[in-house]
Amino acid sequence: MRIMTANLWNVNVSVDSFAEALDKYAPDIVAVQELDHPAAEALTERYPYGLVRPGGVPGCALVSREPLTVTATELPFRPLLTAPVSVSGHLVTVGAIHLANPVAMHDVKYRRHQVRALLENIEGYQPMVLVGDYNSSPAWPTYRMIKRHLRDGVKDWATRTGNRTRRTWSYTAGMPKLLRIDHIMVRGVELAGVQVVNIAGSDHRALVADLVWAPCG
């Protein structure tokens, strides 16, 4: 199963570039953060099932080409979206999250409560994959807190295959990327392949990964 996660940076994204990435990489499941209405239209044209909440920076989606039952669990700041999917005939929970930015001081308390609520909610999901914009690099406490519960699928894939992880975010579109803050965390599955995809107009790169069943993972 192939999954994509992309923060589109609200109205700044090139909808054509986003649509081209969807068509080129053909993910089965797509998670989107900072989704506004024009990009949502391109998304739902291709992925009619799931949950789509356009609305700028708070906008989000978790969608599929096949019927998908998505649950939105309201957390402080932004929700956790979850859906059961099949990976090699095994039931896996896909989760999508957009954590609060820790730089804005008024968001720090929301981030703390959001992460605590997230960890409480994902505890019962085994196996699972949690994708999205974590707003946290591997050097930061939030990443380490989540990593106590899930493995960094991208890092594991890079280590296993002799590749390097790539940074996914910069202050603005077109600049060299500064930090790896978009993640695919896993347990019970692993990543058989990872691609980091530029989408014009966004300050983030998208991640595209192929999931395979790994019951010991």
Mean residue pLDDT across the chain: 95
pLDDT band at 215 (very low <50, low <70, confident <90, very high): confident
15-25 vs 37-46: helix axis angle to the nearest 10?
Answer: 20
What Cα–Cα distance (Å) separates residue 109 from each residue in 31, 34, 121, 171? 25, 20, 18, 23
- Looking at residue 105, its pLDDT comes to 66
pLDDT band at 217 (very low <50, low <70, confident <90, very high): low
Question: Which residue type, as a one-letter code, is found at position 42?
Answer: A
pLDDT digits (tens, 9 = 90+) for 116-164: 999 999 998 989 999 999 999 999 999 999 999 999 999 999 999 999 9
Please name which of 155, 110, 146 lies closest in space to residue 128, comparing C-alpha atoms.
146
Say whether pLDDT at 88 is over 70.
yes
Task: Give, for 185, the enclosing helix (H) or strand (E).
Answer: strand 182-187
Question: Which residue type, as a one-letter code, is found at position 164?
Answer: R
Rounded Cα distance, 87 and 211, in Å: 7
Q: Which tokens go with 129? A: 């994959």
DSSP 87-148: ETTEEEEEEEEEPPPSSSGGGHHHHHHHHHHHHHHHTT-SSEEEEEE-S--TTSHHHHHHHT
- Looking at residue 216, its pLDDT comes to 60
Rounded Cα distance, 91 and 114, in Å: 26
Task: Give, for 23, the enclosing helix (H) or strand (E).
Answer: helix 15-25
Say whether pLDDT at 181 is over 90.
yes
Whether residue 127 has a cis bond before it, omega within 30° of 0: yes
pTM strictly above 0.85:
yes
Q: Which of 2-16, 27-41, 42-56, 93-107 has the lowest mean pLDDT?
A: 93-107
Domains detected in the chain: 2-213 (3.60.10.10)
- Looking at residue 174, its pLDDT comes to 85
Average pLDDT score over residue span 194-200: 98
Say whether pLDDT at 80 is over 70.
yes
- Looking at residue 70, its pLDDT comes to 98
